[in-house]
Structure 1
Amino acid sequence: MSPTRALRRRTFRSTAVLAGIAALASTLAACSSTSHSSSGQSNFVSGTGEITTVSAADRKPAPDLSGKTVDGTQTSLAAYKGKVVVVNVWGSWCAPCRLEAPNLVKVAAADQAKGVQFLGINTRDLAAANARQFEKRFAVPYPSLYDPDGNLLLRFPKGSLNAQSIPATLVIDRQGRIAGRALKALSESELNQLIDPIAAEK
């Protein structure tokens, strides 16, 4: 084999190896950035960061959200008819959920006098014990429906505001309609900005 041909072959092999390494790195990056794994890693379903509100005339009814809670009792969205209900979707495995939990707890306590009720939906926690430990750690005072398979989240009607990320927060008005949504972890200030106008409606 001539020196020129041998050099070309080595160059081709080096280029192929580098291309393969780049493709593998790209695949691993995509896998790690989409959602959490079943092994309980702290990856999460990233939201867009949008906070959306809907005028009263354009709101759609919230679906039936009911079932067993994290602590084994029963509750439902319908149980809070006539109140503004803040529905927070969370998982104990979700780092942004842990970040916003103290803010939710503070605002939930402060907004009781305004006729506002908080209701969680715990999702993708295959062991309810993990969810209970989360609630104990952050002293969560409101119930959370236990939805490990995400079935409750699929009940939101097509075209309505729905939970497209974890965490996500939805605000249901006193008529049982979806009035607002946040696809991000919220600060106390952001929670108040989302909830207060809806709570002030007559």
Structure 2
Amino acid sequence: MRSRPLRRSSARTLIAALAAASALALAACSTSSSGSSDSSGTNFVKGTGETSSVAVKDRGAAISISGKDLDGNQLSLADYRGKVVVLNVWGSWCSPCRAEADGLESVYTADKSKGVQFVGIDTRDLQTAQPKAFVADHNITYPSLYDPAGDLLLKFPAGTLNPQTIPTTIILDRQGRVAARALLPLSSSQLTQMLAPVLAEKS
């Protein structure tokens, strides 16, 4: 028994349905900058693009995250109390992370004498070989916590970041509290602009 050819109207309906399903699949795989990143209670005030800041009086408790770095050494954010800390969530597989890496290192080199410490959080790299190569390729001199399963990201207060949004950069004030955040790759000038008001704070 021969199968009947699809009528034109049926063919058009099928094509439209397949296109819609494809679009939904692509949307599901894309990185989002919304969701938990804008949860209530975070006190973020949106700035330009996807950058935001928190007024001193509205900042929560200090972020206490610790773990192993890419070389297996213990690393704790508490060791940097008294410094302004720039946290950058990245992965060697992430092309926007590669695009911003050189700029991050240049700002760190320029500002570390002012009491700024950078710390990376490498995530979703199942082995350390790839992130170590990334660090070497971009001449990165600051340490990174190794977080292949994203466990450290889940320890941040709800609404602080979205684990699906990579790269993300968070600035901690000298007391270890979240002061600013960017849910996008940053240029060196953008990062310097975000960092300046936190550096200018007296304590």
Q: Structure 1-normalised TM-score?
A: 0.84
Cα distance in 2 for partners of 1:124, 1:135 equals: 15
Instruction: Give the Cα–Cα distance (whole angstroms) in 1 for the partners of residues 7 and 112 of structure 2.
Output: 72
1:151 alignment partner in structure 2: 151
Match of 2:58 in 1: 58
Q: In the alignment, which residue of structure 2 is the partner of 1:162?
A: 161
| 1:21–1:131 Cα change, 3 Å | same
Q: Does 1:198 align with 2:198?
A: yes
Q: Deviations over 1:117-160 (max 9, x none)?
A: 0000001111111110100100110000000111111111124x
Q: CA RMSD in A?
A: 2.0
Bigger drift between 189-198 and 15-24 goes to 15-24
Distance 1:126 1:198, change over 3 A: same
When residues 106 and 122 of structure 1 are mapped into structure 2, their CA distance, relative to the original with a 3 A threshold, is same
* Paired residues of 2:67 and 2:76 also in contact (CA < 8 A): yes
Q: Which has the larger radius of gyration?
A: 1
User: Match for residue 82 of structure 2?
Assistant: 82
User: Who is 1:132 aligned against?
Assistant: 132
User: SS where residue 113 of structure 2 aligns?
Assistant: helix
User: Contact 2:84–2:171 (CA<8 Å) still a contact in 1?
Assistant: yes
CA distance in 1, matches of 2:83, 2:199: 8
User: C-alpha separation between the residues in 1 aligned to 2:167 and 2:33?
Assistant: 8
| Residue pair 1:90, 1:167 contacting (<8 A) in 2 also | yes
Distance in 2, Cα, partners of 1:87 & 1:62: 13
Gaps of 5+ in 2: 35-48
**What are the within-5 Å matches in structure 2 for residues 85-96 of structure 1?**
85-96=85-96
Distance across 2 between alignment mates of 1:65 and 1:169: 15
Distance 1:13 1:47 in 2: 38
Distance in structure 2 (CA, Å) of the matches to 1:158 and 1:22: 35
Aligned to 1:26: 23
| Distance in structure 2 (CA, Å) of the matches to 1:154 and 1:28 | 25
Do residues 47 (structure 1) and 47 (structure 2) align?
no
TM superposition outliers: structure 1 runs of 4+ over 6 Å: none
- The alignment partner of 2:179 has SS state of strand
Compute the displacement of 1:185 (Å): 0.5
TM-score, normalising length: structure 2: 0.83
Q: Report Cα offsets for 1:51-84 as digits up to 9, x if no partner.
A: 1111100011243211110122111101111100
Aligned: 1:68 with 2:46: no
Give the distance between the partners of 1:46 and 1:62, measured in 2 at CA.
Answer: 26
- Residues 179 and 198 of structure 1 are in contact (CA less than 8 Å); yes or no, is this contact kept in structure 2? yes
The secondary structure found in structure 2 opposite 1:140 is coil
Does the aligned pair in 1 maintain the 2:65–2:152 contact within 8 Å?
yes
- Find the aligned partners of 2:113 and 2:185 in 1 and give their Cα distance: 24
* Preserved CA contact (<8 Å) 1:122 1:147: yes
Unaligned runs of 5+ in 1: 1-5, 35-44
Structure 1 162/17 Cα, relative in aligned 2: closer, same or farther at 3 Å?
closer
1 CA distance for matches of 2:157 and 2:28? 29
